[in-house]
Amino acid sequence: MGKAHIQIRKLTKTYGSGMALVRALDGVDLEIRAGEFTALAGPSGSGKTTLLNLIGCIASPSSGRIFFEGTDLTELTSRQKTEFRNHKIGFIFQDFNLVPVLSAYENVELPLQIKGGLSRGERDVAIREILERMGLGELLHRKPKELSGGQQQRVAIARALVKKPVLLLADEPTANLDSKTARDILELMRELNLALGTTCLFSTHDPMVMDFATRLVRLRDGQIDGGGLGE
């Protein structure tokens, strides 16, 4: 197991104020080591999405610190946060979030274009390789609406992983899939976790998904309810 590459300290996120104040996260301490395959479990409203969005620099905390490979993400400028997201993080969402007018191939190409640095030919090799690996080699030119839910989520995984992020954040990635497809998707994530060493953190409230993880962190009412600092 690698060194701790995410260290979260006293992380708090509130929404609203006065009587309407919501403590979405309330003093979270959590460490994630490089290469871990961790489920973030908790009922709806427990703060899972908020925590993933803070780690992915999609939102900013009210207080507390998030260190990633030693860098305090909460101190980055918005430009540095964008850079961090583009280079280090892959994100997978519950509802796939593919761009409807783009083909599978074009959806996977997007993050490479945003990140920059590769020629068209190099991008082509990377896109075909990852889509092949997802079992989508024959479906490159299909639009999202011409794909099943499981196939769409495979495209989303390919899109998240094509730039070889060190961290994959997945917010209830199997919630909209039947249990067989959900299992296939988890197996695929685990395979990539092992093959590429990508650290994976995925939220869920499904016991089957929790069983699949090699580490379980529980959230409850915005607080860690077990597993935050390892066993």
β 63-68/4-15 pair status = antiparallel
Q: Does 217 sit near ligand ADP (CB under 6 A)?
A: no
Could you tell me the smallest distance in angstroms from the CB atom of residue 203 to Mg ion? 6
Rounded Cα distance between 29 and 187, Å, is 28
Cβ neighbours of 176 (radius 10 Å): 16
Could you tell me the smallest distance in angstroms from the CB atom of residue 95 to ligand ADP? 13
Binding site for Mg ion (CB under 5 A): 48-49
Rounded Cα distance between 172 and 175, Å, is 5
> Residue 50 or 103: which CB sits closer to ligand ADP?
50
> Residue 49 or 107: which CB sits closer to Mg ion?
49
Nearest in space to 215 (alpha carbons), one of 206, 228, 205: 228
Interacting partner of 42 out of Mg ion, ligand ADP, none (Cβ under 5 to 8 A depending on kind)? ligand ADP
Radius of gyration of the chain (CA): 17
Interacting partner of 72 out of ligand ADP, Mg ion, none (Cβ under 5 to 8 A depending on kind)? none
Could you tell me the smallest distance in angstroms from the CB atom of residue 187 to Mg ion? 23
Could you tell me the smallest distance in angstroms from the CB atom of residue 62 to ligand ADP? 12
Rounded Cα distance between 118 and 113, Å, is 8
Name the residues that contact ligand ADP, by CB under 6 A.
15-16, 22, 24, 42, 44-50
